[in-house]
Amino acid sequence: MTNIRFGRSALFVLLAIGLSNCKQVNDSENASKPPSVPANASPAANGNFRVVITGNGLHSGNDTNYESVADCAAFQLTPAQVKEFFTRAETIDDLTYNHELNISQCYAKGVVWLANGEHGTWAIDKSRRGYYTRSDGTGKKMFCRACSSSLYLTVEDVTYDGAIDNE
């Protein structure tokens, strides 16, 4: 009887190893598929996407006199707030993103999957700025004037006169 139990246990272990190897092969096959979404698509472009937060309440490490690591710890976005950002944010150019909006050192980051299987990384800072980078390296920078969370700085606090036209 002991030999039969060992045989069944060994069979289950081999089956589990085989299944885990199949999953790894499928994941690598999906990662090598060519992109099927236009380079300018955002996570919300097709209305159905999933987000995972991999870091929350983070500090960029840059020296500032107004945001400490402790200040940033309170910037904790939920998946619903991330989805709101990508649904409501407007696309902005590099000049606006890097020079015409005040930068916050506090941010959250994660991964997004589109309904068609495409995926990429994202980051959103406390100044309502964010970016999305697709798995092929293309992406976009965004600003969310319409986001409702009180975690963000006010629009007035992050925009210079004329940087983002009021709607």
Residues 3 and 65 in one domain: no
Q: Dump pLDDT digits (tens) for 66-98.
A: 788 998 999 999 999 999 998 899 999 999 998
Same-domain pairing of 148 and 103:
yes
Comparing CA positions, the residue from 108, 140, 145, 141 lying closest to residue 128 is 145
State which amino acid sits at residue 105. Q
Burial (Cβ within 10 Å: 0-12, 13-18, ≥19) of residue 18: exposed
Is position 54 within any domain?
yes
- pLDDT tens digit sequence for 117-140: 778 999 999 999 999 999 899 999
- Is 0.75 topped by the overall pTM? no
Same domain, 9 and 69: no
**Domain containing 27: what range?**
1-32
Q: Does 83 lie in the same domain as 3?
A: no
* Contacts of 50 by beta carbon, 8 Å cutoff, 6+ apart: 112, 113
